[in-house]
Amino acid sequence: MKRFVVPAVALALLAGSVAGAAPNFAELGLQPITPPKPAHEFTLPDVEGKPTSLAALRGKVVLLFFWATW
C-alpha cells in the first residue's frame, strides 16, 4: 500500500501544476515546512567519481533522484 501512496501524491501535485492551479496541500493531508529549512550539507561522487558538495552547487538547480526497491 505504501508504495502506491507516494506516486499518487506526486501525480496529484503534477496534475494540479499542469492545470495551472496551485496544489491544495491541506486536501492531500500535507503541510508545507515554514520557514523552509536549508538542506543539510553532504558530498557525493559525480558521474566521473569526483566528490561534489552541495555547497559547490549553490545558486544552481539541483535535481536529486533517489531510487530504492523493497
pLDDT tens per residue, range 14-56: 555 555 677 787 888 887 777 777 888 999 898 899 999 999 9
pTM: 0.40
Q: Please tell me whether the peptide bond between 35 and the residue prior to it is cis, using omega within 30 degrees of 0.
A: yes
Name the maximum alpha-carbon separation found in the chain: 43
Q: How far is CA 34 from CA 17, 66, 67, in A?
A: 21, 24, 27
Distance between CA atoms of residues 28 and 13, nearest Å: 9
pLDDT band at 10 (very low <50, low <70, confident <90, very high): low
pLDDT band at 62 (very low <50, low <70, confident <90, very high): confident
In the chain, alpha helices (H): 2-18
